[in-house]
Amino acid sequence: MTAVAAGNKIKVHYTGTLDNGEVFDSSREAEPLEFEVGAGQVIPGFDQAVVGMQVGESKQVRIPEDEAYGPYNDNMVFDADPSQFEEGLSPQVGQQFQTQMQDGTPLLLTVKSIEDGKIMLDANHPMAGKALTFDLEVVEIN
């Protein structure tokens, strides 16, 4: 049988959980995730975990934060003035906004707090600083 190698396009079913057992994402009720292995389309630890697997094979892998979305960076939390938001928009804690960095890279901002007329925004990925566990099943190798 063929084993997954870098450059293969594959389809994988997965369920992702946090260390407390909370499921944060799953493809089980939808289509499997399709990606090219080693092309940087998924987090590094996920890419590495599927190498060597065969169609129909399942495994569980725990991916440390360094191989997932990286450590939480306090320097990516900053205050914004309400005037920086569109007129009539009143941000709520937990609300997310997408913007772009100067080079055009999309950036997701999450409202952390609103105090004294200042809005604290967090540009960290919501999964930054977390180890992630995935139950993986290779469905197809192209």
Q: Name the residue among 34, 33, 32, 37 with its Cα closest to residue 8.
A: 37
Q: Which of 19, 66, 78, 79 is catalytic?
A: 78
Active site annotation includes 85: no
Q: Which of 19, 24, 66, 79 is catalytic?
A: 24
Active site annotation includes 43: yes
Q: Which of 10, 14, 63, 122 is catalytic?
A: 14
As given in the structure block, the two tokens for residue 126 are 């919501």
Active site annotation includes 14: yes
Q: Which of 46, 47, 63, 69 is catalytic?
A: 69
Q: Which of 10, 43, 119, 141 is catalytic?
A: 43
SS3 49: helix
Q: Which of 19, 25, 66, 79 is catalytic?
A: 25
Q: Name the residue among 78, 10, 68 with its Cα closest to residue 44.
A: 68
**Distance from C-alpha of 10 to C-alpha of 25, rounded to nearest angstrom:** 19
Active site annotation includes 63: no
Catalytic positions, please? 14, 24-25, 43, 69, 78
